[in-house]
Amino acid sequence: MIRKEKFGDEILKAHILVEALPYIKKFSGKTVVIKYGGSAMLDCNLKKMVMQDVVLMKFVGLNPVIVHGGGPEISSFLKKLGIESKFVNGLRVTDEKTAEIVEMVLVGKINKEIVSMINELGGMAVGISGKDGKLLKAEKDLSNGDLGYVGKIVEVNIEVIEMLIDRGYIPVIAPVSFGDDGKTYNVNADTAAGKIAEALKAEKLILLTDVEGVLENVEDKTSLISRMDLEHAKKLMDSGRINGGMIPKLKCCIKAVENGVKRAHIIDGRLTHSLLLEIFTDEGIGTMIGKECFDDDNL
Amino acid sequence: MIRKEKFGDEILKAHILVEALPYIKKFSGKTVVIKYGGSAMLDCNLKKMVMQDVVLMKFVGLNPVIVHGGGPEISSFLKKLGIESKFVNGLRVTDEKTAEIVEMVLVGKINKEIVSMINELGGMAVGISGKDGKLLKAEKDLSNGDLGYVGKIVEVNIEVIEMLIDRGYIPVIAPVSFGDDGKTYNVNADTAAGKIAEALKAEKLILLTDVEGVLENVEDKTSLISRMDLEHAKKLMDSGRINGGMIPKLKCCIKAVENGVKRAHIIDGRLTHSLLLEIFTDEGIGTMIGKECFDDDNL
Amino acid sequence: MIRKEKFGDEILKAHILVEALPYIKKFSGKTVVIKYGGSAMLDCNLKKMVMQDVVLMKFVGLNPVIVHGGGPEISSFLKKLGIESKFVNGLRVTDEKTAEIVEMVLVGKINKEIVSMINELGGMAVGISGKDGKLLKAEKDLSNGDLGYVGKIVEVNIEVIEMLIDRGYIPVIAPVSFGDDGKTYNVNADTAAGKIAEALKAEKLILLTDVEGVLENVEDKTSLISRMDLEHAKKLMDSGRINGGMIPKLKCCIKAVENGVKRAHIIDGRLTHSLLLEIFTDEGIGTMIGKECFDDDNL
Amino acid sequence: MIRKEKFGDEILKAHILVEALPYIKKFSGKTVVIKYGGSAMLDCNLKKMVMQDVVLMKFVGLNPVIVHGGGPEISSFLKKLGIESKFVNGLRVTDEKTAEIVEMVLVGKINKEIVSMINELGGMAVGISGKDGKLLKAEKDLSNGDLGYVGKIVEVNIEVIEMLIDRGYIPVIAPVSFGDDGKTYNVNADTAAGKIAEALKAEKLILLTDVEGVLENVEDKTSLISRMDLEHAKKLMDSGRINGGMIPKLKCCIKAVENGVKRAHIIDGRLTHSLLLEIFTDEGIGTMIGKECFDDDNL
Amino acid sequence: MIRKEKFGDEILKAHILVEALPYIKKFSGKTVVIKYGGSAMLDCNLKKMVMQDVVLMKFVGLNPVIVHGGGPEISSFLKKLGIESKFVNGLRVTDEKTAEIVEMVLVGKINKEIVSMINELGGMAVGISGKDGKLLKAEKDLSNGDLGYVGKIVEVNIEVIEMLIDRGYIPVIAPVSFGDDGKTYNVNADTAAGKIAEALKAEKLILLTDVEGVLENVEDKTSLISRMDLEHAKKLMDSGRINGGMIPKLKCCIKAVENGVKRAHIIDGRLTHSLLLEIFTDEGIGTMIGKECFDDDNL
Amino acid sequence: MIRKEKFGDEILKAHILVEALPYIKKFSGKTVVIKYGGSAMLDCNLKKMVMQDVVLMKFVGLNPVIVHGGGPEISSFLKKLGIESKFVNGLRVTDEKTAEIVEMVLVGKINKEIVSMINELGGMAVGISGKDGKLLKAEKDLSNGDLGYVGKIVEVNIEVIEMLIDRGYIPVIAPVSFGDDGKTYNVNADTAAGKIAEALKAEKLILLTDVEGVLENVEDKTSLISRMDLEHAKKLMDSGRINGGMIPKLKCCIKAVENGVKRAHIIDGRLTHSLLLEIFTDEGIGTMIGKECFDDDNL
């Protein structure tokens, strides 16, 4: 029929919308905590696409919560101020001056950029830090020696996040924490995302990274693991076959799943629309970790 | 990049989802009354696609309400019972016996088929008739002479529909009405859809038909009107250039828009996913009628 | 006093209203599921009285829910269509064609008649079938051999009923069920009423029948049992002294009481205002079955 | 039929219940303010019947509010304390000492007796005075000279009453008022009932009196007026044909209707169940006053 | 600075307000049941101050509930009526006549005086008795022989109190109770306050008395106990070193704490602002009894 | 009495609490927008006291909202980064680089310091910027020539603030605004506070400044105006007798009062507890501006 040809492209598009229906249905009303960082944060184009994905998720009924890192912007800003960045085991040594700059960059710059972008794309975001509504309480993390104001989270108070979700906002969280000592603590964004996901009893924790996912064999690029259960994940951790940078991320996922998050995902933020691809397709694109069986993942 | 190639198709699909975002946003929480009838009701495949479109609309935040006709099934059933179908001006002469059969087919067969199909596709539908909760009150329509129990709607009570929408259900309505005389009245489904859309102050009234839309020149298939304002529509009505079957449909749309429905659409139900195409694309596929200007239709 | 004589009749009436007070108080806010069928459905006068009773119950604070059968109307309609009614053990053999007709008569005719009558009497009814809101899910019942689309209920979803009750409506239910296979199943109305009463944790399940109640001795018309506890009822079932038609009804009552319905009643629908008599008088008129003791029935 | 004979009386009772249905329906959810006083308060039997009527009204969906007087009990108590009762134009001269005793008898005795009786009959009553929640503010009424702490109501604050009604309680009000001067004022119970009915926008104000109603001709016992509109009532007031004791009562009714109460009734509290008779029968038993027409009183 | 001198006094006052902050914070939203009686009830000045304290408590976020006694006013009124007061073990022998007078004085006089005073001071009080909303059900207390209508509380129904608190009112309770026998029972106000505190799961029960608190050694005025745990309190009770009048008060406190009230206080009502002093200062002014440890009392 | 002496100080304190009662009552539930800046922001001690005052206000029932400036910290930070501060008419010339730093200091440093301090003092604060929830939309302010990203507010969306207030939080607002052009605009904090107060229909707008208030005669330090109505305020504005720095502040107050804020205050932030003194004392300490009359200010 002539008409069908004329509208061929549009009909195809409609088909694709309808294909997403089972996923939309499945995750309707569910909370998804997204750790946003790495390349997806630096490339202007990717940034916008991530935020489009987030706004779409919100409009089709999911409740995305964003926890973001800071990365290179912090170092670059410290440099401008003539403050040297020191690292121990890949962790930034954080004196009071540095902690202040970290907070300014995370809360006063990156957080607001994300908020603005979401708002421009038609969502409604509110950006907060771990100090607001006493969201994240930390104390000094001494597990790698005394690195100054590097904290570990000891209490999560999700009241503000729940209020924002209830009222239709997308919470954007800069994981700067407060201590009972009145000090500001810098905490790891992956860990913060994990802890928040646990407290929210989230359906999903998704870590946007700069790798394709977890590899069964770190040397074999084709050995990407699509799905694994806790047992598999723990064995892998113990095997020593995991890449250094992946270790804390996998640990964070395992902990989250152990503490009630249904699925934890490590996905490639460098890929366009990786969030949608992971959530709205059967196969996914990265690595998904769940407690035991995945029977209920068959739509 | 290799990865991008690998996921090329999926990324394209994600792009398409994101393209729908502005429309999803625009119509979020809005009510759309759909008159379902004609070919879209007979072809099994089309039927399923219409219902998929409806369920998708629900899940991405719109509130679809379906008003359905009966058409050929009624005649075929009457025939089985040896009751002859008589028509005056294209309107069925409806004695008490016929009215009873019309009700049984509409309420007891077609309505439940639609409900079942929506439920199978993952939505939650509740089917009611114009008698339930006193939804549609009618009295004898004598405008074409006495055709028996052919009614015109004199009162609409949308309380039940609003309750169903509020609680996440998709209302499916068989437009069989009650009279103060305790009788059952058969009313035109287009008109019923229009009246219900008015009472709900719906964002859209969409009539699924077996034509492409309204033609400026009934003899010129390429003269489809994409958008027209009330003035244009009324002039066209007066011009006598409208096809006979289109007249009541256009009248119904004009009235609905005059009484507060924001946009009325006449679209081609024979086209796959015509509902999605009309709502989720800029150009649309049929004819849209609005009060005055369409400035706010530019996304 | 002169005045008192003048208003003698009215004062008597007022006395009678006041006599009902303890019962009204006792059942205020309680749910009563009524299986409506048999003679009470055929006689025009009785029909109206049953519905008056139901509306009165609603207005004085009870929550009546009606589940109706179809009976003779179905057979008569099948006959008109030249479809022969076959029965095995008193159960209708139901091929797809027959199932379709059953649904049309129950949902499209009888259900709407009840709804209309309640509405005319001042109540607000909404009629639904077991497909609406996925109320009744069934699968093929093979306990009497393969009788076609005769189903047994495997899942009850009372969300819609509760919503209707909450908002002041009287739910009227045609017990046509859906299967996971997309088919329509005809289920026994008594059983459906019982299952719904269980799911609603109803105060009462009342079966309107064409007999006076349960007889201790089937041959002795004066041996009507007014009240019996579960033990008594089960013994009677096992005794073989029960009339054939009564067996499934008594079974249904026993099951309902075992599953949490407080009282199940088998009453004579042929008697004027039997519903009110059973609920609003101490002695009642039929047979009441309760779990153990009836101490709290003494007002 | 034998059965019908056996249950003849009960069926008659059920008929009578059903006869009340249109009235129950009509007044469902409506507020009725009842001035309780006179003989209906003194005779133990009548007392109980009035309260039964009130509880029944509550259970069938009306919202009764009782405002009571004190009458003879006050005088008798003052006498016991050796305080002489003085009257000017039928109004009690009320010094501070007397005001205190009036309050004690009304609030501490009569009010609690009514509350207890309602509670015993299965209702839930809460008794308050005009001081509670600042319900009734008064100032000295000098219209009959200075009679001491005789007040006229200048402000009504119905918040507490509405709260009690909302939560299912029957408010019982002793019309003792507070003044801005910190003093206690005795106010007329009829007037208080009228003012409260106005503030509540009540459906009905009912004054229980010791006469049959308003007579067209005070000398002709058979000239009882069943219904009159405001114009009629005012003419009668001006005619001088009204009995002295009736004047303030009729005035109070006229004012209430002028200020928005739909119907005001003057009925004979000496008659058994006079409240039910007036509300639940067409003819009523006393005098009903309405704004203009009574068309909507035809059920 | 000059300005500071000028506003010196005001600044000091502000400092004092701020000093109260930790206490306000600590008790925000908590319920405090206050037994009001003794000297604090007789002295006009003290009376006003107690009520000011209560209103302040309400406005800064606590929920005070007042239970009052009657004391000397009852005896004086009985005397006026020529009724002799008889006492057995300090308990008033209460015949029906006496019970009536007790109720009139408590409910119709003292209760309303308290309500008026609170209202004048800007709070909103509603006064009720134990009969209203079936708050306090009692039966004859025979533990000291048959003293007539002296009751012990057997059931507490706090629904009305909770409703009043929810809506911002201060409940004022005259502890006159009803019996299932339809009689009025006089109950001890301390005990009533305790029972109500238990039912409300109150944060605090405060007994305003005419002594400074509990003394470790009844002969040593300086041995006031500021805080004691249950064990300490019980030992003291058993030691026989407690003054006669204190015994029932201490018993009442012990019982309340055992049944879930967090802290019970016995304080000196003769002291100006004793309520505020006990609640809003660390040291307090009387005796506080708690379950076990007081660690959380350190602000 | 000995006891009274012993507790003399405490009793005095209680007296002072009670003295605040009329003010607490008067402003209960009212919203107060406080512009926090100047010396009160720099002195560590004053800072803490202001925040204590704010927390106290919250706990005694007011709804404080804080809008803060940045002042010297911004300049000092720009200096560290080697960016020179340029001013035109006292307004900072703001290029994109500067706007970014302003945002980082206001949102990422000062805002969080205020939030932390309030949280430490027992309140619950949430800090947001004008971008969050689209609170403040601005466009370039060209009234003083093109100063770069200096904005004037064109839209206020208080939804987030109202949500925070409703849930018991103290909103702390950094007045950094977004433009439709996606840019960040620096807006004047006084003006932002005024606009927010208008949108909230606040009871009070309070500007904390470094002067005592408005002087009738700028040269006469003793000519402080305690209260003035709009007319007075406008005359003063026109008189030219106002100090330069005061002009925009007075303008802002006039506009706020014209647009519905009940009272605007200019007070001396250098004075200890100036907020409490202004709100909780009759005389106040600064200048109060109201629409017309102040009769209702007499407690």
Predicted confidence (pLDDT) per residue in C22-62, tens digit: 899 999 999 999 999 988 888 888 999 999 999 999 999 99
Among the listed ranges A137-146, B266-275, E257-266, F288-297, which one has the minimum average pLDDT value? F288-297
- C-alpha F164, offset from chain centre: 18
Tens-digit pLDDT profile for residues A89-118: 778 899 999 999 999 999 999 999 999 999
Q: What is the mean pLDDT of residues C156-170?
A: 97
The total of other beta-carbon atoms located within 10 Å of residue E229's CB is 14
Rounded distance, CA E189 to CA D78, Å?
28
Check if C125 contacts B (Cβ < 8 Å): yes
Give the distance from CA E20 to its chain's centroid: 22
> What ipTM, to 2 d.p.?
0.93
A273 interaction partners in chain B (CB closer than 8 Å): 11, 14-15, 18
**Segments in B60-188 forming alpha helices (H):** 72-80, 96-105, 111-120, 159-166
Between residues F194 and F26, the one the model is more confident about = F194
Q: Is residue F75 part of a domain?
A: yes
pLDDT at residue F296 in the model: 53
Read off the DSSP letter of residue B148: B
pTM of the complete model: 0.91
Please, are residues D64 and D58 in contact by the beta-carbon 8 Å criterion? yes
CA atoms within 13 A on the CB side of A132: 29
B292 vs B18, more confident: B18
Residue B2's pLDDT is what?
42
Residue C179 near residue C151, CB atoms below 8 Å = yes
Range in A3-17, A179-193, F118-132 the model is least confident about: A3-17
> How would residue C282 be classed by pLDDT, with cut points 50, 70 and 90?
confident
Same domain, A226 and A165: no
Of the residues A163, A178, A201, the one at which a domain ends: A201
Residues in B touching A61 (Cβ below 8 Å) = 59-61
Query: Looking at beta carbons, which pairs linking D73-79 to residues 24 or more positions away fall under 8 Å?
Result: D73/D105, D73/D109, D73/D110, D74/D101, D74/D102, D74/D105, D74/D106, D77/D101, D77/D104, D77/D105
Long-range contacts of E137-146 (CB under 8 A, 24+ apart): E137/E177, E137/E178, E137/E179, E137/E180, E138/E177, E138/E178, E138/E179, E138/E185, E138/E187, E139/E179, E139/E180, E139/E185, E140/E179, E140/E185, E141/E187, E144/E88, E144/E89, E144/E91, E145/E88
pLDDT at C144: 87
Which residues in chain B are contacts of A52 at CB distance < 8 A? Answer: 18, 21
| pLDDT (tens digit per residue) in F205-236 | 999 999 999 998 888 888 999 999 999 999 99
Q: Which range of residues forms the domain containing residue A118?
A: 62-201
Over 80: is that where the pLDDT of D121 sits? yes
The Cα of B134 is separated from the nearest Cα of chain C by a number of Å equal to 7
CB contact under 8 A, F160 and A126: yes
Chain E residues closer than 8 Å to D119 by CB: 131, 134, 178
Q: In what order do the strands lie in the sheet with A136-140?
A: A151-156, A136-140, A176-178, A184-186
Helix A96-105 / helix F96-105 crossing angle, nearest 10 deg:
120
Closest CA to A268 of A287, A249, A283, A281: A287
Q: Is E178 exposed, middle or buried (0-12, 13-18, 19+ CB in 10 A)?
A: buried
Q: Do the domain assignments include residue B113?
A: yes
* Other residues' Cβ atoms within 10 Å of the Cβ of residue D229: 15
Chain E contacts of D58, Cβ < 8 Å?
none
Measured between CA atoms, the residue of chain A closest to residue B26 is: A122
Per 3-state DSSP, what percentage of chain D is helix, strand, and coil (rounded to 5)? 45, 25, 30
The answer to whether C85 faces chain D, any CB pair under 8 Å, is no
- Mean of the pLDDT values across residues F173-178? 98
- Within a domain: residue A3? no
Please give the distance of CA B236 from its chain centroid, rounded to a whole number: 22
Interface test with D, best of E126, E129, E164, E176 (most D CBs within 10 A): E126
pLDDT one-digit tens code per residue, E208-237 = 999 999 998 888 888 999 999 999 999 999
Contact C107 B103 (CB under 8 A): no
Q: Do F25 and E273 touch (CB under 8 A)?
A: no
> Helix or strand or coil: residue D102?
helix
**Which of D1-10, E267-276, F67-76 has the lowest average pLDDT?**
D1-10
Q: Please tell me the predicted confidence (pLDDT) of residue A5.
A: 62
Q: Is residue D106 one of the residues assigned to a domain?
A: yes
Establish if C299 touches chain D: CB-CB under 8 angstroms.
no
Residue D6 has pLDDT above 90, yes or no: no
SS (H, E, C) chain E: CHHHHHCHHHHHHHHHHHHCHHHHHHHCCCEEEEEECCHHHHCHHHHHHHHHHHHHHHHCCCEEEEEECCCHHHHHHHHHCCCCCCEECCEECECHHHHHHHHHHHHHHHHHHHHHHHHHCCCCEEEEECCHHHCEEEEECCECECCECEEEEEEECCHHHHHHHHCCCEEEEECEEECCCCCEEECCHHHHHHHHHHHCCCCEEEEEECCCCCECCCCCCCCECCEEEHHHHHHHHHHCCCCCCHHHHHHHHHHHHHCCCCEEEEEECCCCCHHHHHHHCCCCCCEEEECCCCHHHCC
Span C108-118, pLDDT tens digits: 999 999 999 99
| Cα angle, residue D281 at apex, residues D276 and D285 outer, rounded to 5° | 75
**pLDDT tens, position by position, A214-261:** 998 888 888 999 999 999 999 999 988 888 789 999 999 999 999 999
Is the pLDDT assigned to residue C11 strictly greater than 90?
no
F61 neighbourhood in chain E, CB within 8 Å: 59-61
Q: What is the spatial distance between Cα D176 and Cα F189, in angstroms, rounded to a whole number?
A: 55
Handedness of CA F141, F145, F146, F147 (dihedral sign): negative
Q: Is A92 a known ligand-binding residue?
A: yes
3-state DSSP assignment of residue A122: coil
- The Cα–Cα gap between C84 and C93 comes to 10
Angle at which helices A72-80 and A96-105 cross, to 10°? 120
Residue B116: which of C100, C124, C182 has the nearest Cβ?
Answer: C182
Cβ–Cβ < 8 Å for E128, E173: yes
Q: In Å, how far are E232, E264, E265, E288 from E226, measured between CA atoms?
A: 12, 12, 10, 6
Q: Residue C148: which pLDDT band, with cuts at 50, 70 and 90? A: very high
Q: How far apart are CA A140 and CA A96, in angstroms?
A: 13
pLDDT tens digits along B240-275: 888 878 999 999 999 999 999 999 999 999 998 999
Count of domains forming chain B: 1
E-chain residues near F18 (CB < 8 A) = 49, 52-53, 56, 273, 276
> B212: closest CA among B20, B27, B39?
B39
Residue F16 lies in a domain: no
Residue D14 placed within a domain: no
Looking at the partner chain, which of C127, C131, C169 has a beta carbon nearest the beta carbon of B116?
C131
Nearest residue in F to A97, CA atom? F109
Disruptive mutation site among B68, B80, B101, B131 for chain C (greatest number of C CBs within 10 Å): B131
In a domain, F235, yes or no: yes
Q: What is the pLDDT of residue E208?
A: 95
Q: How far apart are the first and last CA of chain F?
A: 33
pLDDT score of C99: 94
Distance separating the N- and C-terminal Cα atoms of chain D = 33
Residue E5: the pLDDT is 62
Residue F275 has pLDDT above 60, yes or no: yes
In a domain, D164, yes or no: yes
CATH number for the domain harbouring residue A276:
3.40.1160.10
Give yes or no for a contact between E16 and F280, defined as CB atoms under 8 angstroms apart.
no
The answer to whether B113 and B128 have CB atoms below 8 angstroms apart is no
Largest CA distance in chain D: 74
Whole-number percent of chain A with pLDDT over 70: 96
For residue C9, pLDDT beyond 50: yes
Q: What number is the average pLDDT over the span D286-299?
A: 73
State the Cα–Cα distance between residues B231 and F262, nearest whole angstrom.
48
User: Is F281 an interface residue toward E (CB < 8 Å)?
Assistant: yes
Runs of H (alpha helix) within A121-245: 159-166, 189-199, 230-239
CA distance B125 to chain C (A): 6
Q: Please give the share of chain C, as a percent, with pLDDT higher than 70.
A: 96
Q: Beta-carbon neighbour count of residue C201 at 10 Å?
A: 12
- Cβ contact, residue pair C11, D55, below 8 Å: no
Please report the pLDDT score of residue C2 as a whole number. 42
Mean pLDDT, rounded, for F22-49: 91
CA distance F89 to F144: 8
